[in-house]
Amino acid sequence: MKEYTVQQLAKIAGVSVRTLHHYGHIGLLKPSSRNVARYRFYGESELLRLQQILFFKELDFGLDDIARILDGPGFDPVEALEAHREQLKKRAERLDALLKTIDKTIRKLKGEKIKMSDEELYGGLSKEQANAYAEEARRRWDPKLVDNANANVKKWSKEKWKAVNAELDEILRQLAALMGTPVEDRKVQALVTRHYAYLNNFYEVKPNMYRGLGKLYVEDPRFRAYFEKYRAGLADYLNEAIDRYCDNTPAGKKRRG
């Protein structure tokens, strides 16, 4: 039977020795045996448990939660592992897509240094898209405000557009990374809020208009249904947006070196 010292296990699992000590102290992962000199030794099952721990840690569970999960009465390792495997697979696929996108983006950024027509100004949000948003906003809230906003938008500088596009891109990318996460999740909430804060910024809407938005997305129960629907089509939407981003993204918005 294989046994690992602290350092060996640490290296295998990619954590620090201190982490293993810590896990031992809080009873999360104890060595399978100890030396006369109290040296720690871990077996295969500890390695597996550590993997599970790290897995849940990736999902942002606290260590005590992890302990409850792993040591809970109804914990069927096979079942749990199969569920996790599915999650992992999805994550891996998403990561893969993200990686490709980023590669594309980097190539684009490196290649097409300076080339930006007026049309490209609209970048992350196509004219039609912007109009679509405007349309919806018009339907939903105050038409005058929206028209006003659009008028403002047209006066925006290139710089502002760049910044705004970049932000939308960021938000979308992160939302994509969270695909499959429950809507109630704090991260999703935060991102959605940011997304709408972005829209708010985009349209330079007044607070009272924003109240409706905020409520819809953050407090209103309708938000749930809306986002469910939204999420279903999110992948396509994002791919389009990302492609647009790659094709339209002009050279660096700069600062520093």
Residue 75 binding DNA, by CB under 7 A: no
Binding mask 103-122 for its own copies (x = CB under 8 A): x-xx--xx--x---------
> Which of 53-58's residues contact partners 24+ apart within 8 Å by CB, and which partners?
53/23, 53/28, 53/29, 54/13, 54/14, 54/15, 55/84, 55/88
How far is 117 from 102, CA to CA, in rounded Å? Answer: 23
What's the min distance (Å) between Cβ of 165 and its own copies? 12
How many residues make up the chain in this entry?
A: 257
Residue type, 86: E
Q: 21, 160, 211, 224: which one contacts DNA (CB under 7 A)? A: 21
Look at the block and give the residue holding tokens 């199969």.
82
17 belongs to the binding site for DNA (CB under 7 A): yes
* Residue 114 Cβ vs its own copies, minimum distance, rounded to whole Å: 13
- Choosing from 122, 133, 156, 226, the residue that interacts with DNA (CB under 7 A) is 226
Q: Is 91 in the site for its own copies (CB under 8 A)?
A: yes
Residues 6+ apart with CB under 8 A from 26: 63, 64, 67
Q: Which of residues 159-198 bind its own copies (CB under 8 A)?
A: 166-167, 170, 174, 186-187, 189-191, 193-194, 197-198
8 A C-beta contact, residue 199 and residue 133: yes
Judged by CB under 8 A, does residue 22 bind its own copies? Answer: no
Are residues 224 and 183 in contact, defined by beta-carbon separation less than 8 angstroms? Answer: yes
Of 8, 87, 105, 174, which one interacts with DNA (CB under 7 A)? 8
Alpha-carbon 187 to chain mean position: 8
Kindly tell me which of 121 and 201 has the beta carbon lying closer to its own copies. 201
Least CB distance to DNA at residue 57 (A): 6
Stretch 238-257 residues interacting with its own copies (CB under 8 A): 240, 243-244, 247, 252-257
Rounded to the nearest whole angstrom, what is the least distance from the CB of residue 7 to DNA in the complex?
A: 3
Nearest to 129 by CA among 2, 214, 240: 240
Per CB under 8 A, the list member of 17, 63, 81, 199 interacting with its own copies is 81
Phi, psi of 220 (to 5 degrees): -60, 135
What is the contact surface with DNA in residues (CB under 7 A)? 5-8, 15-19, 21-22, 26, 31, 35-40, 57, 62-64, 226, 232-233, 236
